[in-house]
Structure 1
Amino acid sequence: MRVLLFGATGMIGQGVLRECLLAADVQEVVAVGRTPLTLEHPKLHQVLHADMLDLQALENLLQGFDACFFCLGVSSAGMNETRYTHLTYDLTLVAASTLARLNPQMTFIYVSSAGTDSSETSQSMWARVKGKTENALLRLPFKAVYVFRPGLIQPLHDVRSKTPLYALFYTVLGPLLSLVRRIKPGWVVSTETVGRAMLAAVRHGAPQPVVEQAEIHRLASLNNR
């Protein structure tokens, strides 16, 4: 399969990219982003683009893909609703609407968050905006759309968060997260598990369009390279 990846420099995106490059049935990964990757791999091609709200110049490069893994995301900390909506809803829908037109046969997978509110009425601003984004994506005419809602995520295999505070958190609590993940797998999911589950959803589908943490674990167990 040919995979399009947005957000490959982020923590989840790094993990998803690793699993894609390891997968025997992934022939090419095209990573679209503003920041160049230091990683080089025969399967990997990078497309640098400064304005993610205008993809018109890239349309000839965004065709013929089997899957898109959309791992771009920002924290709502310190943002008002207008700004967070612009960077979460607007940016995602620009990319997804373009891809739905160019690749109707594509499976589109969006990384959301545990606690997202599909009713769009939550008191939590981020949960409303994420819910609005999920609902809009599910209406697009792709072959399939899945929204993944992981909870606490543990980075593995040298994957690191770009946010210094988060990177410190994962470094300090890494051993504890590993223990919790073994004892209570429903509480913690790894970057490896998320990447494998995404690939499995493309290969086999998922029972529901909204994929919660327990289903992420189940899908990852179906995956084989």
Structure 2
Amino acid sequence: MKVLVTGVTGMVGEGVVLECLGDPGVERVLVVGRKPCGIEHAKLTEIVHADFFDLSPIAERLVDFDACFFCLGVSSVGMSEDDYRRKTYDLTLTMAKLLAENNPGMTFCYVSGSGTDSTEKGRSMWARVKGKTENDLLKLPFKAAYMFRAGYLHPTPGAENTHRYYRVLSWIYPIFRRLLPNHVSTLRELGAAMIRVSRSGYGKPIIEVKDIVRLARS
């Protein structure tokens, strides 16, 4: 399987790409980012491209992939709805439309968030924007598309891009896992679940935390 991954300089994307590199069924990984990811591996190649709103200079290299794991995202904290929409909805759909056109056999996996609002009408700004992003991704002509509504994601040991507060919370993670099993998973489970649905499909397009854990263990 040939996989394209975005957001690898962030914690989520790094965790997902490490899972891909460790899976013998993934033969090639292309990382697309705005700065170098710092990971070297025989299966990994990289495109550094500053403007994700204009992909025309690299479009011919974004072909012949079986899956895209779209892990690029920003926090909505301190942002206006217009700015958050541009950096979440507009940016994601720009790349997704190009990939759908050039890779009709692709499975597209999008890292969304628990609590995303599919109605696009709720009070939470980030949830509305994520909901519209999910809805419009599901309309594109991919082979399949899955929206991963992750909750708390426990980082992969040894990863470079783990936020400091996750390290502080590591001691309490087993308690979170026991008390909130439908809201907690690991980045290794997220990556494994993405690989699993890309190989074998899944019965629904919205992947909640409990589905992530089930897929990773199947």
TM over 0.5: yes
d(CA) in 2 for partners of 1:203 and 1:46? 23
**Percent of matched pairs sharing the same residue:** 50
Please state how far the C-alpha of 1:160 moved relative to its aligned partner.
4.9
Deviation string 1:123-170 (CA, Å, 9 cap, x unpaired) is 0000000000000000000000000001111102222546xxxx2321
Tell me, in whole angstroms, the C-alpha distance in 2 between the residues paired with 1:168 and 1:30.
27
Match of 2:11 in 1: 11
Please give the root-mean-square deviation of Cα atoms over the aligned residues, in Å: 1.2
Structure 2 counterparts to residues 94-113 of structure 1, below 5 A: 94-113=94-113
**Aligned with residue 200 of structure 2, among 198, 204, 212:** 204
Spell out the pairing of 1:47-62 with structure 2 (5 A cutoff): 47-62=47-62
User: Could you state the TM-score of these two structures normalised by the residue count of structure 1?
Assistant: 0.94
Larger displacement relative to structure 2 (152-161 or 52-61): 152-161
CA drift at 1:101? 0.3
For structure 2, the residue ranges without an aligned partner over 5 or more in a row are none
Aligned-partner Cα distance in 2 for 1:182–1:107: 32
**Corresponding position of 2:125:** 125
1: CA distance between counterparts of 2:195 and 2:3?
10
1:38 aligns with 2:38: yes
With over 3 angstroms needed to count, the CA separation of the structure-2 counterparts of 1:183 and 1:81, relative to structure 1, is closer
Tell me the matched-pair count: 218
Greater shift, 181-190 or 46-55, is seen at: 181-190
Write the distance in 2 (CA, Å) between the matches of 1:128 and 1:154.
25
- Residue 179 of structure 1 and its aligned partner are, at CA, apart by 3.6
The answer to whether 1:142 aligns with 2:138 is no
> Partners in 2 of 1:192 and 1:185 — Cα distance?
16
1:26-69 per-position Cα deviation (integer Å, ceiling 9, x unaligned)? 11000000110211000000100000111111111000000000
